[in-house]
Amino acid sequence: MRKSILALASIAVLGLVGPAAAQSPIVIKFSHVVAENTPKGQAALKFKELAEKYTGGKVKVEVYPNSQLFGDAKEMEAVALGDVQFIAPSLSKFDKFTKKIQLFDLPFLFNDIDAVDRFQEGKAGQDLLKSMEAKNFLGLAYWHNGMKQISANKPLLVPEDAKGLKFRIQASDILAAQFQQLGAVPQKLAFSEVYQALQVGTVDGQENTWSNIFSQKFYEVQKDITESNHGVIDYMVVVNAKWWNGLPKDLQDDLKKAMDEATKVNNEIANKLNEEAKQKIQASGASKIHQLSAEQRAKWVEAMKPVWAKFEGAIGKDLIDAAVASNKSN
Ligand code: SIN
């Protein structure tokens, strides 16, 4: 009798029985660096809603936007340590884990976001989701943001206009090479530090999507933005592979379903949010938006093209070819 009472007591202490234990959900922390009124901000909230619904409350998702919990410098490490379960860094930020994903940083690689989508959905794109498993990171999905625009406090109409200027870049060697190719000076900076760096003039310019330029108010401290569409900012939703593989199968399935639907929502709203952000910037009058003529655009393509050859060995020609092929819709 005494033995069974003791056994029951220790089970309760371990939290294996009792109404409180049955109800306490698994807490999933989802950390990211952008504002809530962006494609990623909205998609993270959609994932929370659906994950809690599909798991019947077995998980509780806490979303931390705006580098509140972890910024660029620490978020991968936080996943590795289990301090956070979901992150969705820009593809440029996987530089130190694999050179293959740097493919997405090659300037003028994709004609538009539809081409990016075709590549990500194809075999080469899907394989990249698993390319960091040996380092214990697993990609569950790609989320679109959109095409990058370039800004400064002077019009950037031809590559020579960028010469000598200092540009903030994400932590990517390809992006560094892209600006060096223009005779400009790249400076790697965390996303949360960009506004201030532009404001005080530590850097002269930056490249980003309309939704990021608007939600971070970069347009208030940049007089000129060129609609260059010269590259892409997209995300990979990443989890700690060991943590994910240790989840019960039914929970994994529910979370995967929530992720697939949140991805669909993200990719449906990304273009619209970027277009709205562009209109708001235009309406603010704080920054002038410049369009490139075909001739001017050709000069940017030409000036940045040597970056491809420089990184072909590290990325792999097969991957670059697959990406180029995705520019053709069938
Ligand atoms: C993001 O969209 O997550 C940030 C991109 C950047 O660092 O510029």
**What distance in angstroms lies between residue 55's CA and the mean position of ligand 1's atoms?**
30
**What distance in angstroms lies between residue 218's CA and the mean position of ligand 1's atoms?**
12
What is the spatial distance between Cα 147 and Cα 208, in angstroms, rounded to a whole number?
A: 8
Q: Where are the domains of the chain?
A: 21-324
What is the spatial distance between Cα 101 and Cα 319, in angstroms, rounded to a whole number?
A: 10
Give residue ranges with CB within 6 A of ligand 1: 33-34, 90, 145, 170, 191, 208, 212, 233
The class that CATH gives domain 21-324 is alpha beta
**What distance in angstroms lies between residue 205's CA and the mean position of ligand 1's atoms?**
15
Can you tell me whether residue 252 is helix, strand or coil? Answer: helix
pLDDT tens track of the chain, all 330 residues? 444 444 433 333 333 344 444 679 999 999 999 999 999 999 999 999 999 999 999 999 999 999 999 999 899 999 999 999 999 999 999 988 999 999 999 999 999 999 999 999 999 999 999 999 999 999 999 999 999 999 999 999 999 999 999 999 999 999 999 999 999 999 999 999 999 999 999 999 999 999 999 999 999 999 999 999 999 999 999 999 999 999 999 999 999 999 999 999 999 999 999 999 999 999 999 999 999 999 999 999 999 999 999 999 999 999 999 999 999 987
**What distance in angstroms lies between residue 191's CA and the mean position of ligand 1's atoms?**
6
**What distance in angstroms lies between residue 209's CA and the mean position of ligand 1's atoms?**
9
Give the ligand 1 atom nearest the CA of 33.
3
260 CA to centre of own chain: 16
Can you tell me whether residue 36 is helix, strand or coil? Answer: coil
DSSP character string of 283-312: HH-SSEEEPPPHHHHHHHHHHHTHHHHHHH
End-to-end CA distance of the chain: 74
Half-sphere exposure (CA, 13 Å, Cβ side) for 148? 24
Buried b (16+ CB within 10 A) or exposed e, 142-159: bbbbbbbbbbbeeebbbb
In which residue are the tokens 């220790």 written? 10
Give the ligand 1 atom nearest the CA of 89.
3
- Site to probe by mutation for ligand 1, drawn from 86, 193, 212 as the one with most ligand atoms within 8 Å of Cβ, is 212
pTM of the model: 0.92
What's the residue count for the chain? 330
